[in-house]
Amino acid sequence: MEVEIITRDTIKPSSPTPPHLKTYNLSYFDQTMSPILYPIILYYTKPETSTSTTTSSSTCLKRSLSKCLTKFYPLAGRIKDDVSVDCNDSGVDYLEAKVTNCTLLDVITNPNIPSLKQLLPCELHIHDLESPLLLVQVNRFQCGGIAIGVCISHKVADASALGMFVNGWSCTARGDCETVAPHFELSTLFPWRDDTNDIEKESQATEGDYDHEKDNKIVTKRFVFNATDIARLRDKARNVESPTRIEVVSAFIWKRFVDSNRSKTRPTSKPYSVLHAMNLRKRRAPPLAEHGFGNMSVLVIESLETEDDDDEYCSLVGKIRSAIRGVDGEFVKKLESGDEWYLKHVKAVLIEQGNGGRERICFSSWCWLFYDADFGWGRPVWVSPPSSFRNVVILMDTRDGEGIEAWVSLLDEDIVEFESDPDTLCTSICS
């Protein structure tokens, strides 16, 4: 696949941001996030409408993005003093590119994961806080297919907020502006705190592993769990009533991660942790607005201290369920009250992992977020997060909505052990 950038533009809001909205304060959760850009790519077959020419679709995308930015006005600004966004309407980067030597069908049928990065508007590295908070690249295949790559700063948005923006942009492109109504209340509920600087530093030091990413020592592989695979995993989870597909897939990957580490020379007594990013918007009592923009996620943590459990997979499913269900209204209420227990717990785990005393793997579910993004050409035929950081797993819907694609990122030496599973289930889902 060869990708050539044709044009570079800066898209600004179609209307200036009002004076009383010029400063957008970052929240407590924004503060704890690493300053990275993270991506999504949406793939569409050749538009069949009467306005499907390259020129008209390009004009539509630019105009609708400009209109959408009036609603998502912080994205057109710049981080100021690491505590707020100066909503100065500086705009977002917008690139258009042409793709040769392959068709859209080639990409979605047999994806070459490293090459997918070419469809993104930037490298995935530590974000310069003076740079745009949102970058877009529209890639056009010779067959007429389109891939839209979007990168957003984690300092202002989590995966749910990214999905909120992408769906808001697509609604605007279809002329349905009234449904786009983001809310910016998180900094009021969870204001900036001076005592979170330490966890921010630990998060940056342990989660990103940016040097490895640049040296290509981190390998991302996609594992596809279809409906049959998930049914088999549910049957194995005998101790949990009606386990969800997120629970069983996460437990399966966690067990493979632990087993592959134990097969090395590493001590079997080393503790292993699973971190699951949880969206708090609907777990608050009362729930927050559905379109609450920003970072509203926490890491729930469960540990595995020994390997004495004869039925370890079932135990892991139960642990994950317990951790997820523990994030309820009372959990969120403690966070709103300023209780420091969450910060201390996460900081302790990050420090222990950074010192080599704990192995951990982090999951983030992006299911149900992106497949409704219809820009007027129909829903995407595929959605992909092309890469991630060390020991991070992104869970996505399959195209039919029944299965899960797990995008697993490990060091190259670890991915070899991870894939060498004697269980026939693992070999049947690896791609």
Give the residue numbers annotated as catalytic, written as ranges: 154, 374
Which of these, 299, 259, 291, 194, lies nearest to 422 by C-alpha position? 259
Distance CA 138, CA 149 (A): 6
Distance between CA atoms of residues 225 and 212, nearest Å: 28
Whole-Å CA distances, 240 to 120, 195, 319, 328, 421: 40, 39, 10, 19, 24
Which DSSP string corresponds to 333-391? HHHHTT-SHHHHHHHHHHHHHHTTS-EEEEEEE-TTSSTT--SSS-S-SEEE-----TT
**35 CB contacts (<8 Å, ≥6 apart)?**
126, 127, 129, 153, 154, 155, 204
Cis ω for the linkage preceding 182 (within 30 of 0): no
Q: In the chain, what is the greatest distance between 2 CA atoms, to the nearest angstrom?
A: 64
Token pair for 259: 């087993």
